């Protein structure tokens, strides 16, 4: 919490499709204090140095998931990464890897959203219940089975970290597979069979090559690699059970 102002060089990837034939890095000298985040550095550039720089941001407290970007080559949230950790060296900022660049630090996230929509990310009730009947009972132990996987902020850092997604964007990817597991593991839900039709495939859990860099970069401790692993287990058991009984039977 110091307040003396120093200056840091920030190289920012620029790409404006209407005027730039290809991306390039532009360097800004940014005054900063020790409490300032990389996001605040970018805001200083935008407000005082160059109004044409575009990037997404909102909450500033690592919960809205908007400001994921590559900071010195690592996927991070700009609001929770501090300039003091890079000074006196230069700092290089680029858009999240493995996504098409829309402009500057803004990437096209449609693929992620489509995948999220595609896995039925909502409760498919095991036993329907009316409001008058009150809440479903769920013990803390039952809650704990999925709670961690429900804390994903959709920041997509894990997609930039995932080599498999980088090779083939058909792979559902860590964050969305964790979300799928979040619903499958919820005691109120009975939709696992419907969801696992996607989950079983090469695009689903079997696409993962177990590098686990996704869990390392996750700012919220979601541990998608663990979710995928649990589902590989579930998927394998489910696969063998198919020979014994038709899917969905006995549920």
Partner 1 sequence: MEVFKADVAIVGAGGTGLRAAIAVAEADPSLKVALISKVYPMRSHTVAAEGGAAGVVQDHDSLEYHFNDTVAGGDWLCDQDVVEYFVAHCTEELIQLEHWGCPWSRKPDGHINVRAFGGMKIERTWFAADTSGFHMLHTLFQTSIKYPSIKRFDEYFCVDIIVEDGRCQGVVVIEVATGKFTFIQAKAVILATGGTARVFRESTNGGIVTGDGMALAYRHGAPLRDLEFMQYHPTCMLGTGLLFTEACRGEGGFLLNKDGYRYLQDYGLGPAEPSPRNKAMELGPRDRLSQAFWHEERKGRTITTPLGQAVHLDMRHLGEKKLRERLPLICELSEEYYGINPALAPIPVRAGMHYTMGGIYANLKAETPLPGLYAAGECAGNGLHGSNRLGSNSLVDIIVFGKMAGVEAARFAKSAPVSNPAVLEKQAKAAQDRVLGLVTKTGGKEKHSILRREMGQSMETGCGIYRLGAELQQTCDKLAELKQRYKNLNVEDKSSVWNSDWLAAIEVGYMLDTAEVIAHSALNRKESRGAHQRLDGYEQRDDANYLKHTMAYYTGDGPPRIEYQDVVITKSKPGTRAYGAAGEKAEAERQKEAGHG
Binding site for partner 1 (CB under 8 A): 1-3, 16-19, 35, 46-48, 50-52, 54-66, 80, 102-104, 106, 108-109, 113, 116-117, 120-123, 125, 129, 131, 134-140, 142-143, 146-147, 150-151, 153-154, 179, 183, 186, 188-189
Q: How far is the CB of 176 from partner 1 (least distance, A)?
A: 11
Residue 84: CB minimum distance to partner 1, A:
11
Q: Are 225 and 212 in contact (CB under 8 A)?
A: yes
Would you say 3 or 251 has its CB closer to partner 1? 3
CB of 141 to partner 1, least distance (A): 9
Residues 6+ apart with CB under 8 A from 244: none
Shorter beta-carbon distance to partner 1: residue 106 or 211: 106
| Minimum CB distance to partner 1, residue 195 (Å) | 13
Smallest gap, in angstroms, from Cβ of residue 242 to partner 1?
28
Q: What is the 3-state secondary structure (H, E, C) of the chain?
A: CCCCCEEEEEEEEECCCCCCCCCEEEEEEEEECCCCEHHHHHHHHHHHHCCCCCCCCCCCCCCCCCCEEEECCEEEEHHHCEHHHCCCCCEEEECCCCCCEEECCEECCHHHHHHHHHCCCCCCECCCCCHHHCCCCCCHHHHHCCHHHHHCCCCCHHHHHCHHHHHCCCCCCHHHHHHHHHHHCCCCECCHHHHHHHHCCCCCHHHCCCCCHHHHHCCCCCCHHHHHHHHHHHHHHHHHHHHHCCCCCCC
- Using the minimum distance from each CB to partner 1, give the nearer residue, 124 or 211: 124
Nearest approach in angstroms of CB 35 to partner 1 is 5
């Amino acid at each position: 919490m110091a307040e003396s102002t120093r200056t840091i060089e920030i190289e920012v990837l620029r790409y404006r499709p209407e005027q730039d034939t290809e991306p390039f890095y532009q360097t800004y000298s940014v005054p900063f204090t020790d409490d300032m985040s990389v996001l605040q550095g970018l805001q200083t550039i935008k407000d005082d140095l160059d109004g044409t720089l575009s990037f997404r941001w909102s909450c500033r407290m690592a919960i809205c998931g908007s400001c994921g970007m590559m900071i010195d080559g690592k996927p991070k949230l700009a609001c929770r990464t501090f300039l003091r950790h890079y000074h006196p060296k230069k700092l290089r900022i680029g858009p999240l890897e493995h996504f098409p660049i829309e402009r500057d630090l803004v990437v096209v996230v449609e693929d992620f959203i489509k995948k999220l929509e595609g896995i039925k990310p909502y409760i498919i009730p095991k036993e329907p219940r009316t409001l008058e009947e009150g809440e479903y009972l769920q013990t803390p132990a039952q809650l704990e089975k999925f709670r961690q996987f429900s804390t994903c902020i959709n920041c997509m850092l894990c997609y930039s970290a995932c080599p498999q997604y980088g090779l083939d964007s058909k792979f559902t990817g860590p964050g969305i597979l964790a979300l799928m597991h979040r619903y499958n593991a919820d005691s109120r839900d009975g939709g696992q069979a419907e969801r696992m039709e996607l989950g079983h495939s090469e695009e689903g859990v079997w696409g993962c090559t177990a590098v686990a860099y996704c869990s390392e970069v996750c700012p919220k401790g979601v541990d998608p690699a663990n979710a995928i692993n649990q589902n590989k287990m579930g998927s394998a058991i489910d696969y063998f059970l198919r020979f014994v009984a038709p899917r969905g039977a006995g549920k």
